Chains A and B, each alone.
Chain A
Amino acid sequence: MKRLVIPLASYLTVTIVVPILNGAPVDADFLEHAALAITLPLTITATLSPLLRRLAACARPPGTT
């Protein structure tokens, strides 16, 4: 999760925070966009993180933590 924090934060900033700061109307369309733009990246990050941890553990030389 930690390794993907920067792409996740950049993604959420540009797709959700910047439009709000630019004065985009927070209507039903925007809320629908925000719901998808938050849920899907979080799901992908949560799915990838254990996979990456496992890969990192495999790549680590034996005897190291």
Chain B
Amino acid sequence: MTRERIDSAIAIVAMLAITYALKRHYSTADAEALQWILAPTAWLVETVLHAPFVFEQHVGYVNTELRFAIAPSCAGVNFMIIAICSAAVGFVSQMRTLRAKLAFLFISVTLAYLATLGVNTARIVIALLLRAHSMPIAGLSPAQIHHAEGIVVYFTSLCALYLLADRLLARRRDKAPT
């Protein structure tokens, strides 16, 4: 096993530790403990829709007029975990040193957090628009439409971010001296 492969394996183990800790925190956390992701998401949704969301204990951010809650179940933590995993598995092997691999991993965590805020905001805004114009789609119930919309927005965004990162890293590789 080459040194570079050992370094990649260390970085992947670090990624697994981070995502495991995140998943464990998410599985037991209530709305208060998820403020780090719910509060900025609610602020972004408020900014886009010009509709106030008020924090309610054990529920999340609620807008009674829209009858919508930004609850722990729609915090987007799973998307963040998937984004971190995709970045690490897809690109960590392209970094040369262990330091570069770990730095890439920590940058991925930060960018995954920021991407989650943006993508989740888009998902919530689209969900509210779909509900406001309640149109029947392929015989699906409103709950199923909400679920399907979440999958489409999250997965399409994940692919777009992955391809963008791939493109940026390829450009960086091409510029690097050989």
Q: Name A residues whose Cβ lies closer than 8 Å to a Cβ of B.
A: 3-4, 6-7, 9-11, 13-15, 18, 22, 32-33, 36-37, 40-41, 44-45, 48, 52
Contacts and interface: CB of A to CB of B under 8 A. Distances in A.
Nearest to B157: A7
Interface of B: 23, 27, 78, 81-82, 85-86, 89-90, 144, 147-148, 151-152, 154-156, 158-159, 162-163, 166
Nearest to B148: A36
Q: Chain A at the B interface: mostly helix, strand, loop or mixed?
A: helix
B80 to A, nearest CB: 10
A51 to B, nearest CB: 11
A36 B151 contact: yes
A19 B159 CA distance: 22
A15 to B, nearest CB: 7
Nearest to B167: A59
A9 to B, nearest CB: 8
Contact of A44 (B81, B90, B147, B152): B152
Contacts of A48: 159
Nearest to B23: A18
Nearest to B154: A11
Contacts of A40: 148, 151-152, 155
24 contacts: A3-B162, A3-B163, A6-B86, A6-B162, A7-B90, A7-B155, A7-B158, A9-B89, A10-B86, A10-B158, A13-B85, A14-B85, A15-B78, A22-B27, A32-B144, A33-B147, A36-B144, A36-B147, A40-B148, A40-B152, A40-B155, A44-B152, A44-B155, A44-B159
B78 A3 contact: no
A44 B153 CA distance: 11
B159 A4 contact: yes
Contacts of B159: 4, 7, 44-45, 48
